Amino acid sequence: MRRLLAVLALVLLAPARGSAQGTLFIVGGGSQPDALITRFVELAGGPGRAVIVVVPFASGEPQATGDDKAAQLREFGARAFTLPLVGERPAPGAAATLDSVTGVWFTGGDQASLVEALAGGDVLPAIRARFRHGAVLGGTSAGAAIMSDSMITGNQHRPDSLGYYGDEFPEVARNVIEVRPGFGFLPGTIVDQHFLRRERHNRLLAAVLERPGLIGIGIDEGTALEVARDGTWRVRGASAVSIYDARGARVTGPGAPVLGARGVRLALLPPGSSFNPVRGEAALAGE
C-alpha cells in the first residue's frame, strides 16, 4: 500500500509533457519583502507587461483588501485590479475580466471563505484556464492554503487529549485537524503557512501522517515556494520552507491511540534551496 501511494503521488506531481501550465508562487503570510513582489511581477510578464487580478474573498473586507494589493502591485510596474465583486462574491461577468490576465493573486484571511466564494461559479474555472495557458498563480496565508488538494482550515474537529480546542495544536493527534478540499493547483500536497513563526509543526505533521500520500509543505512568513513549470520547487524570501514527506514511511494504523511513524523525511530549506517532489530530493542553496 505504501508503495502504491508513492507511485500515485509521483504521477500526480509529475508535470504533463508539453504543458504550458504556469508557475505557482506560494507565500507563507506576514510582510512580503520587496524581492518577493518583484519576483511575482516578473513571473507575470514583468513591469509594463504583467496584468494581475487580485482575488480578495478570504478577507473580511474584500474590496479594500483587493484594492490595497492591486495598488501595491502597480507600484512594482504591473497593471493590477481587484476582481469585480458584489459584497463578498464575484460580480456577474467577473470571469470575463480574466481573459487577458497573466497573473492571479489570492489574498490572506480565511481560506474557507475564499473556497466558498468561488464554489460553483465561473471564476474558478476561468482561473484554471489562465493557469493552463501559462499565467502565474500566487497567494499568501489563506491564499497559500488553498493551493493544495487538501486544505487545512485552521479549525479543530474536537478538543485534543490535553483539552485544547482552537489553533494551539499541542500534540500530534488523530482526527483533530479539520481538512477540506482546496483548489488543487499543486496536487499531491498539503500546504500550511505562517509555519515557523506560529509553530505549526504539530498540525502539519498530523495532517501528513493521516494522509501519507501527500507531501506536507510548511511555508514561513515572508517566504515563498516557487513551483516552476518543470515541477521544481525553489525557496525565496526571508525564512525557510519545511517539507514533510511520509510517502515511504511506516505509519501507525487507525486503531492506534497516538499518531506515530518512522521513515518520515524532513527537509528545512532556506532561500535558494530546491526540492524535486518526484524524486523526493532536496538541495540546499549552493549544492
If we measure between CA atoms, which residue out of 174, 128, 120, 175 comes closest to residue 147? 128
Residue 12, pLDDT score: 45
All three cell numbers of 117: 466564494
Residue 107, pLDDT score: 99
CATH architecture of 2-13+21-283: 3-Layer(aba) Sandwich (3.40)
All three cell numbers of 206: 498530523
Q: Which residues pair with 151 in a beta bridge?
A: 180, 191
- Report d(CA 129, CA 140) in Å as an integer: 21
All three cell numbers of 123: 471564476
Question: Could you identify the residue written with the cell 482526527?
Answer: 175
Name the pLDDT band for 161 (thresholds 50, 70, 90).
Answer: low
Residue 5, pLDDT score: 42
Dihedral over Cα of 168, 169, 175, 180: its sign: positive
Residue 89: count of CB within 10 angstroms of its CB:
15
Tens digits of residue pLDDT in 9-21: 444 454 433 346 9
- Report d(CA 52, CA 63) in Å as an integer: 16
Is the model's pLDDT at 7 over the cut of 70?
Answer: no
DSSP string across 163-211: S--SS---S--TT-EEEEE---SEEEEEEEESTTTTT-HHHHHHHHHHS
Secondary structure of the chain: what % helix, strand, coil (to 5)? 25, 30, 45
Q: Quote the percentage of the chain above a pLDDT of 90.
A: 82
Which is it for strands 79-82 and 51-55: parallel, antiparallel or unpaired? parallel
**Which phi-psi region, left, alpha or beta, contains residue 183 (left: φ > 0; alpha: ψ -120 to 50)?**
alpha
Which helix (H) or strand (E) segment holds residue 39: the answer is helix 34-43
Phi, psi angles (nearest 5°) of residue 197: -60, -40
Could you give the C-alpha distances from 276 to 119, 189, 243, in angstroms and in order? 31, 13, 11
- Report d(CA 255, CA 257) in Å as an integer: 6
Against a cut of 0.75, is the pTM above it?
A: yes
Name the pLDDT band for 4 (thresholds 50, 70, 90).
Answer: very low
* Domain parsing of the chain, residue ranges: 2-13+21-283
- Cα radius of gyration rounded to whole Å, the chain: 18
Which is it for strands 103-106 and 281-283: parallel, antiparallel or unpaired? unpaired
